[in-house]
Amino acid sequence: MKKLYLLIVMLFQFISLFSQKRHEYNFEIKTNLLNLIALGPSAGLEFSLQNNCSIMISLASGKIDYGDFGGITKYKTSTLELRKYSRDKIFFAGPYLKNISKQVFWQESVIAGIIPIGKDRDFIGNGFSLGATTGFKLPVSKKIRLEMSSQIGYGHYYRMADKNNNFPSGNYVDARIALWLGFML
């Protein structure tokens, strides 16, 4: 938690160094409605810069229970995005950096008694990924925005431990979709 607090403070200091006309900028506080499926909270803060650019930091955690398929995934993420908006300020694209802490417990499942799905996995890993984000933002009212975004990137677990010690640190594809509900400040 101390690292997260330090990251947020450093982000605001960086923004204040490069912003000259502070009254032209605005903040948007967001929550990812799709993260409610994972029964976890999510929050985002987007700070608008000049030239149709913005910086967004988001935090999320959740737990996905796959039920009869035999697995549970728990995760915590923190993401930093740089967004460049189109002239109409609806569409955006840009790079992102993400830190993830993930715990996976998955038992091999069998469908109809003959078709195996997956393999046994039981690990805890910390990873770092980077990639591209894109999406669009629609105004619902003067202060409320609805945003659909997606991310695709590539990551690496820099620390990984499993129950049987047979998974080395590995790479992974990082993909996410989000439905953000935002409030302008």
pLDDT in tens, 54-112: 999 999 998 877 766 667 788 899 999 999 999 888 999 999 999 999 887 766 655 54
Whether the CB-CB separation of 100 and 155 falls below 8 Å is answered with yes
Residue 147 structure tokens: 């945003």
37-49: average pLDDT: 88
How high is the pLDDT of residue 124? 81
Residue that has been written with the tokens 């950096």 in this structure: 97
